[in-house]
Structure 1
């Protein structure tokens, strides 16, 4: 059984009367006739913010601006060819700034419509769209789901979950990147790539414990970022077209313990530690850690 991974961005857009904008899958899509929030796959090297704006224009003719990040999801779907696809989905709230509503031609959608809240439940919806809009949907299982990760080629798109973690005293939890890994010696947010079939929240809890020995509670979303490095070197110096998409959560560690790495030797984390904000300010930080700290003051 073939396994696939993709990352995508979608937008919830409502009219002044509360209608929601949806698009219908065309014959060129995996699920023809099924309705979805406008959006689609994140191109290699593209920021998810740019994806949702681009996809809205392509599928609906409308220009939109982002007003917030609503949620981040992950799900599995069995495709018509029998393969199983894991999709990480970033869901934004957006509002229309211009353009004229029209249908997409020769794409993966064929209709774009404003739909009232009473009509939404009567449409066949992709499960993630139904969940975001609060519509009950069938949660039929996928049967046996293959283990492992999709085969990597020369182009890599990785989805990761990271923690901007603090304790009741206001200290910040950081990890130092081990030698032999990109950013060696810099202090970073705890977290890492999500596994096949794993939600971002599950990945975050796993990574937080493996890298720092902490158990935390997600209290909000701190932001979405990405890093594109087309010249990155993979194992044995093999070049990779590397693109990482990152969701940063605000995490409260209500009962902190001494920070210690529990993952197996040879991992990317050399050590973990708690710092005051003043101490963190003077550390050599990764751009992800620095930007997250700046955004939260």
Structure 2
């Protein structure tokens, strides 16, 4: 295994299911491997049917150290069965599992397999007091260029999902938003005819901008070329990215439940 520099921890994703047992709430957990959907991992953990409705509870970020000193950044995606009243996962003695020691090993892939890109990203359904939605436009030279996208992006090593989202909203649109509840978490796995095999876990949060200003791109030479506030009827006429379509679909429910 290649050594990881101290300032660049190894990245891992885990999925968890909050259940109620004889002694009260418990949390099951397992590692999410490349290409796996976190919700599918959770259903397998709980012995649930493949179509059991789930609700996303939270995304917890842990900065851990393995027994050999290797730093680990772990994004833990927590679910419960839809209809339960669980607000946050109960604290587990000694931390959530799998532990740092259990997560240290790298995944093994066939030597002749194509290169892979892996990403954990945080996106916002950003609204203001007037009910408008904030969107950003993907710049030329980036995948899905020209489509309208949800503000957000990759979570940096050592950064939690909410901090990353607030930073991305400010960089892409110039707005200061309050990151609220997790709406859902989903995965995206794409195997193009050539090039990299791509796998991402997307966390979608509600974000509220209490004092909206003119939307303007603050980052230079980034992936965002434009941004703006849109009424619901205007959004319906836009060409949206896959990420935006997935995230905005969850606005129809009052609680954002999948």
The TM-score bracket by the shorter chain reads: 0.7 to 0.9
**Aligned partner (choices 10, 19, 43) of residue 13 of structure 1:** 19
2:208 corresponds to which residue?
252
Mapped contact 1:178–1:270 kept (Cα < 8 A): yes
Matched position secondary structure for 1:168? coil
Task: Write the mapping of 1:28-43 to structure 2, written as runs, cut at 5 A.
Answer: 37-43=27-33
Counterparts in 2 of 1:38 and 1:246: CA distance versus 1, 3 Å: same
1:85 corresponds to which residue?
72
Task: Write the mapping of 1:254-269 to structure 2, written as runs, cut at 5 A.
Answer: 254-265=210-221, 267-269=222-224
* Most deviating of 217-226 and 273-282: 217-226
**Aligned partner (choices 182, 186, 190) of residue 225 of structure 1:** 186
Mapped contact 1:67–1:93 kept (Cα < 8 A): yes
CA distance in 2, matches of 1:79, 1:20: 27
CA distance in 2, matches of 1:271, 1:18: 52
TM-score, normalised to structure 1's length? 0.69
Mapped contact 1:232–1:242 kept (Cα < 8 A): no
Within the alignment, does 1:125 sit opposite 2:94 as a pair? yes
CA distance in 2, matches of 1:280, 1:206: 24
RMSD: 2.3
Counterparts in 2 of 1:290 and 1:67: CA distance versus 1, 3 Å: closer
Mapped contact 1:232–1:241 kept (Cα < 8 A): no
Mapped contact 2:56–2:183 kept (Cα < 8 A): no
Displacement after TM superposition at 1:66 (Å): 5.0
CA distance in 2, matches of 1:125, 1:177: 42
Counterparts in 2 of 1:250 and 1:232: CA distance versus 1, 3 Å: farther
TM-score, normalised to structure 2's length? 0.79
1:46 corresponds to which residue?
36
* Number of equivalenced pairs: 221
Mapped contact 2:165–2:179 kept (Cα < 8 A): no
5+ residue gaps, structure 2, are 83-89, 98-113, 253-258
Matched position secondary structure for 1:125? coil
CA distance in 2, matches of 1:91, 1:162: 17
5+ residue gaps, structure 1, are 22-36, 96-119, 130-152, 234-238
Task: Write the mapping of 1:1-297 to structure 2, written as runs, cut at 5 A.
Answer: 2=4, 3-15=9-21, 17=22, 19-21=24-26, 37-54=27-44, 56=45, 62-63=47-48, 65=52, 67-94=54-81, 124-126=93-95, 128=96, 154-231=115-192, 239-265=195-221, 267-297=222-252
CA distance in 2, matches of 1:248, 1:163: 6
Displacement after TM superposition at 1:221 (Å): 1.9
